[in-house]
């Protein structure tokens, strides 16, 4: 488990560095269901096809589905903006 990152980008970068140092070739990425798309985008962007990643959703911290919660719009909007920022290469300044 990588514990030092402060963003999805640095989490992926640090994870890949750890995997390289341990001669690993695959990993299971566990994250929130609403965060999987952006996580996959970033890991795929940083991966030079040396690693195989699988993605799985963690159990939500809140009760019920995230998209039925009172802050669902904020979560969706935030992920939408962040995914666009990452696709434009702004992720390097996401710290």
Tell me which residue of 35, 41, 36 sits closest to 88, measured CA to CA. Answer: 41
Q: Global pTM?
A: 0.75
Most confident of 16-30, 35-49, 53-67: 16-30
Residue 93 has pLDDT above 70, yes or no: no
Per-domain residue ranges of the chain: 8-93
Give strand pairing partners of 8: none
């Amino acid at each position: 488990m990588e514990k030092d990152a402060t963003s999805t980008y640095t989490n992926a970068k640090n994870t890949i560095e750890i995997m390289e140092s341990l001669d690993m070739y695959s990993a299971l990425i566990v994250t929130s269901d609403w965060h999987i798309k952006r996580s996959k985008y970033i890991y795929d962007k940083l991966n030079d096809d040396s690693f195989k990643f699988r993605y799985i959703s963690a159990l939500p911290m809140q009760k019920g589905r995230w998209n039925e919660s009172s802050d669902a719009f904020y979560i969706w909007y935030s992920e939408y903006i962040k995914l666009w920022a990452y696709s434009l290469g702004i992720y390097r300044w996401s710290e």
